[in-house]
C-alpha cells in the first residue's frame, strides 16, 4: 500500500516537471516569434524611411530641375511667344511672298472712286408719243431706231372723240368768222364774245388732243368746194428731233388715253446714272468731272444731279451725269464704269486697302518692320477712303509699313501662335 502511494507521487512529480518544460519551451518560442515580429516591423520602418528619403531626393531633384528651367520653363517661354505679335522673315520668304515695305510719309493724294453705271435717255430731251384720247392705230410713219426731225409724222390714229371735236371746231370757226366780218356793233357784244369763246375753246380742245396747227387749219380749208373730209383721223408728230427708242404697238390696235406708243430721245446728250454705296462719304457738287468707260471707249462726263434718297430696290445712292454723245457711240441701256476723280487738299498718311488687316479683337492693323526682317502688328485708326488707298492715323510718319504682302505676314504670325505641345 505504501509502495503504491509513493509510485503515484513520483508519477505526478514527473508529469508536472514535463509540463513545466513544455511550457517553458513554448514561452521561449513565443518570445522569439515576438522578437522576430518586432525586428520585421523595424525593418519595414527602416525600408519606409529609406523610400521616403529617396522620394525626397527625387522631389528635390524635380524642384531643382524646375528651378533650372525644365519643362515648365519651356511652357512659360512658349506662352511669351503666344503673346508676341511679331515674326521674323528671311530674305527668301520676303522675295517669294513679294513683300514690299515702305516708310510712311505725308503726301497729297490724287485718287479715283469707282461706281457701276448705266447709260439712259436724257429725260429732259426725250418725249413719249401717246394719244390724249382713246384711239385706234391706223398706220405708222416711223420705226424703231429711226432718226426723226421736229414736225415729222409718226403715227396716224382714229378717235370718235376727236371727230366730235373737229365737227364742233368747224361750226365754231364759221360762226366766229361771221361775227368778225359783221363787227361787234352789228351782232352785239354778247354774241360777238360768245362766238369768239366757242371758237377758242374748240381750237384749244383739238390742240390738247394732239392735232398740229396744219391739221387744224386743214379742217376749214378745202381744195375743192364739194370735197368731203373724213373726221376723226389725226396724226401725231415729233415735237423735237431725236431717235425712236421704242415703238411697242401694232396697226389696228386700240390704245387707251396716255398709253405710250413711241419714245423719242435726243441722243446728243445722254444721262449716266452711277450707283454708289449709301455709306460712301463723297461730296459730288454739280460739275464734278468723271471718266466713263463703256466697252473699250472712254468718255468725259460731269455731275448734273444727285438723288437725296436711297433707291429702295438696289439700296444705292444715284448720281446722274451728262455725257456728250454727238458721235452717237452711246445708246440707252448700255452698262458703264464710272470713275470720279479727287485730290486731297492737304498731305495725308495713307496705305493701300490691301495693307490693312483685322486683329483678333477686330481692330484694324498694319504690319511694321520694327527691326530688319522683323515684323509686328500695330493698331491704326481709319480715315477717309481714297479710292484703293485709305487714310490712317495713330502711327508716326517714317514708320516702315508693309505695303504689299500683308496677308502673308499675318499668316506667319498666326502660325507662330500655334502650340505644338497642345498646352
Q: What is the pLDDT of residue 126?
A: 87
pLDDT digits (tens, 9 = 90+) for 287-319: 889 999 999 999 999 999 888 888 888 889 999
The list of the chain residues with pLDDT below 70 reads 1-85, 222-228, 417-423
DSSP-assigned letters across all residues of 100-113? EEEE---B--EEEE
Going from the N-terminus, what domains does the chain have, and what CATH number goes with each? Answer: 87-107+347-416 (2.40.420.20), 127-264 (2.40.50.100), 266-343 (2.40.30.170)
d(CA 409, CA 378): 13
Please give the pLDDT value at position 161.
Answer: 95
Residue 225: per-residue pLDDT: 56
pTM: 0.57
For residues 276 and 278, what is the distance between their CA atoms, to the nearest angstrom?
Answer: 6
Q: How far apart are CA 5 and CA 8, in angstroms?
A: 5
Q: Which residue has the cell 513520483?
A: 10
End-to-end Cα distance, the chain: 104
Contact 367, 377 (CB under 8 A): yes
DSSP state, residue 142: -
Q: State pLDDT tens for residues 264-291.
A: 988 889 999 999 988 777 778 898 899 9
3-state DSSP assignment of residue 22? helix
Q: Quote the strand ranges of 73-171, DSSP E.
A: 86-88, 100-103, 110-120, 127-129, 135-140, 147-148, 153-158
Amino acid at each position: 500500500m505504501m509502495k503504491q502511494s509513493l509510485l503515484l507521487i513520483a508519477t505526478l512529480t514527473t508529469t508536472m516537471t514535463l509540463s513545466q518544460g513544455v511550457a517553458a519551451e513554448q514561452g521561449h518560442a513565443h518570445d522569439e516569434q515576438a522578437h522576430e515580429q518586432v525586428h520585421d516591423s523595424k525593418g519595414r520602418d527602416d525600408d519606409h524611411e529609406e523610400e521616403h528619403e529617396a522620394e525626397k531626393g527625387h522631389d528635390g531633384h524635380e524642384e531643382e530641375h524646375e528651378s533650372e528651367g525644365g519643362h515648365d520653363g519651356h511652357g512659360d517661354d512658349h506662352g511669351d511667344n503666344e503673346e508676341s505679335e511679331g515674326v521674323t522673315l528671311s530674305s527668301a520668304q520676303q522675295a517669294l511672298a513679294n513683300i514690299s515695305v515702305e516708310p510712311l510719309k505725308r503726301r497729297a493724294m490724287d485718287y479715283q472712286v469707282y461706281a457701276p453705271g448705266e447709260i439712259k435717255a436724257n429725260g429732259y430731251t426725250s418725249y413719249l408719243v401717246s394719244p390724249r384720247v382713246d384711239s385706234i392705230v391706223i398706220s405708222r410713219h416711223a420705226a424703231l431706231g429711226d432718226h426723226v426731225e421736229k414736225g415729222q409724222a409718226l403715227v396716224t390714229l382714229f378717235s370718235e372723240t376727236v371727230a366730235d371735236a373737229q365737227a364742233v371746231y368747224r361750226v365754231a370757226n364759221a360762226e366766229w368768222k361771221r361775227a368778225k366780218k359783221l363787227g361787234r356793233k352789228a351782232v352785239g357784244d354778247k354774241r360777238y364774245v360768245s362766238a369768239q369763246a366757242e371758237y377758242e375753246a374748240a381750237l384749244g380742245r383739238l390742240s390738247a388732243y394732239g392735232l398740229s396747227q396744219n391739221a387744224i387749219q386743214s379742217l376749214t380749208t378745202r381744195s375743192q368746194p364739194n370735197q368731203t373730209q373724213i373726221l376723226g383721223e389725226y396724226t401725231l408728230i415729233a415735237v423735237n428731233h431725236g431717235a425712236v427708242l421704242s415703238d411697242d404697238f401694232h396697226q389696228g390696235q386700240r390704245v387707251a388715253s396716255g398709253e405710250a406708243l413711241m419714245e423719242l430721245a435726243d441722243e446728243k446728250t445722254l444721262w449716266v446714272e452711277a450707283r454708289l454705296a449709301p455709306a460712301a462719304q463723297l461730296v459730288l457738287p454739280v460739275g464734278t468731272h468723271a471718266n466713263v468707260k463703256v466697252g473699250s471707249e472712254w468718255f468725259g462726263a460731269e455731275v448734273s444731279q444727285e438723288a437725296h434718297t436711297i433707291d429702295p430696290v438696289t439700296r444705292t445712292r444715284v448720281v446722274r451725269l451728262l455725257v456728250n454723245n454727238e458721235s452717237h457711240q452711246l445708246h440707252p441701256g448700255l452698262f458703264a464704269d464710272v470713275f470720279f476723280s479727287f485730290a486731297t487738299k492737304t498731305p495725308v498718311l495713307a496705305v493701300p486697302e490691301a495693307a490693312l488687316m483685322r486683329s483678333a479683337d477686330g481692330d484694324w492693323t498694319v504690319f511694321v518692320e520694327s527691326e530688319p526682317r522683323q515684323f509686328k502688328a500695330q493698331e491704326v485708326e481709319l480715315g477717309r477712303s481714297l479710292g484703293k488707298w485709305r487714310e490712317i492715323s495713330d502711327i508716326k510718319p517714317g514708320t516702315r509699313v508693309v505695303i504689299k504682302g500683308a496677308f502673308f505676314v499675318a499668316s506667319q504670325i498666326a502660325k507662330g501662335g500655334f502650340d505644338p505641345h497642345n498646352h
